[in-house]
Amino acid sequence: MPDNRYSAIEMIKKLISFDTTSRLSNLELIHFVSDYLSSLGVESNLIHDAGGEKANLYATIGPPDVPGIVLSGHTDVVPVDGQAWDSDPFEVVEKDGKLYGRGTSDMKSFIAIALAMAPEFATTKLKTPIHLALSFDEEVGCIGAPLMIAKMDQFGAKPRAVIVGEPTLMSVVNAHKGVCSFYTTVHGLERHSSEIDRGVNAVAYAAELVHFLSGISDEMRDQRSQPESGFNPPYTTVHVGTIQGGTAQNIVPLHCTFSWEYRLMPGADANEIRDRFQTYVDDVVLPKMHAVDKSTGIETEVRAFVPGLAPEDGSPAEALVLALARKNTTEVVAYGTEAGQFQEAGNPAVVCGPGSIAQAHKPNEFIELSEVRACEQFMRRLLDEVCAA
């Protein structure tokens, strides 16, 4: 049974010590948190993935039948492979007013500060409950959170507000882009390169599709820009990230796979670009391939869909978090978070957390101690709020 009293920094160090890279299980961390909360008299609900190797955690402190405040964060981190770290990424180093370690900024510090406050939440008579919502596999497509969101109604009243603690320097974010990502594989027909007229070049047709996507990207920039939105860039972006294909210079390539995505402006049609792409495949590219050999083809697999976060007039989450953060205005960001998933399920949500996204995913990731202190003050104001509400 873990000690039930940790300072914020001690809890940050503890959570960073768990290597929860997305390809690994997060259960060791989840079981630590569950045991820690149990020592405070707080029951945790675990929602596992299909293989039972990972889990979300949802815990309620206070009266479950009252609309409460959700403090949400993902437990997984991106890999450190190939990065030049000056120290062990999973052992926090405190230096020059900063805490270094994988996940310090993105986003274990927010979770740790909330957990460090849990003894005070648990020993105070709350009028409004605090819910802790910890997810898995956010970094690989926000896979875990929907499993937890689907069960939230079973655990109590619908939340008054969801605060997703991604790093915003404690600014309040009320809008972000959505993300749709895909793998497309072109299946061609191999031949010796001296017989290219009898083969179907998978790399060449993949290149044609990449060029088509580039044209859509240019169209979004030139014809669909929304400078008043506050986004940078202020339009839906289309991006091809990786491509692999072919076996040798003198062989017409049999296969070629490329990964691509679009990042949607809030309110944009999530299916438009995918549908235009598929129409081009069906009407233009496949007929040319089938004219040579009917066995050729093109397959597109959805990797992830993360809905955007749209501003909501009169949002109780926005009003609450602006007050707690001592801010007068909201901001928008181009990256995606689980906040869009909470909002899509009917939960008012905003993003607000310590640290800077500029430090995320980099070697020597860090969070400023001043950000830790600012988030602690935020949590203490939240405690006052849920006692008085």
Catalytic residue set? 76, 138
The residues, any chain, with a CB within 8 Å of residue 255's CB and separated by 6 or more, are 185, 186, 187, 188, 202, 245
CB-CB contact of 261 with 273 (8 Å)? no
**Collapsed DSSP state (helix, strand, coil) of residue 161:** strand
What are the phi and psi torsion angles at 124 (to 5°)?
Answer: -110, 140
Spatial separation of the C-alpha atoms in residues 85 and 62, rounded to whole Å: 42
The number of helix segments (H) and strand segments (E) in the chain equals 10, 15
- Structure tokens of 173? 């974010």
Query: Which of 92, 166, 167 has the alpha carbon at shortest distance from 135?
Result: 166
Cα distance between residue 347 and residue 162, in whole Å: 7
SS3 90: coil
